[in-house]
């Protein structure tokens, strides 16, 4: 569980750092469309950093196996979704475009696993 908490904290920290960098350092470098894409990547990274921390804290209320799967989905999703957007913006490599939806799918799988964790956890904890 400690590893999950550290990963969630690091993702949250880097989201704040990247958000500040975007707000103060990228306005003169990126056009409004690229800056908007960057902000979306940061926002989704922060949401899922918090989701990782939440999943770790809620283990007593759900299936630990499914919560672990949720965390894995969130981590993969952040790397693929936000990571591909960051790389797309900074490198211009358009081949990264198809990776972004795969990351979104991983995030959806993570949330589905979170729901299953609480359904299964409720059945076994009652």
Domain ranges of the chain: 2-125
**Using one digit for the tens of pLDDT, what is the confidence trace for 11-62?**
999 999 999 888 888 888 888 898 999 999 999 999 999 999 999 999 889 9
**pTM confidence score:** 0.90
Dihedral (Cα; 87, 89, 94, 97), 10-degree rounding: 70
Distance CA 103, CA 82 (A): 8
Distance CA 25, CA 48 (A): 24
Backbone conformation region of residue 92, classed left if phi is above 0, alpha if psi is from -120 to 50, else beta = left
């Amino acid at each position: 569980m400690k590893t999950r908490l550290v990963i969630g904290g690091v993702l949250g920290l880097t989201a704040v750092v990247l958000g500040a960098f975007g707000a103060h350092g990228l306005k003169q470098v990126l056009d409004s469309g690229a800056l908007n894409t960057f902000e979306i990547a940061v926002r989704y990274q922060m949401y899922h950093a918090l989701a990782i921390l939440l999943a770790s804290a809620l283990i007593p209320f759900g299936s630990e196996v499914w919560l672990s799967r949720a965390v894995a989905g969130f981590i993969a999703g952040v790397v693929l979704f936000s990571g591909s957007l960051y790389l797309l913006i900074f490198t211009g490599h358009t081949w990264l475009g198809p990776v972004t939806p795969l990351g979104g799918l991983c995030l959806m799988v993570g949330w589905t696993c979170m729901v299953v964790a609480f359904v299964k956890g409720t059945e076994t904890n009652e």
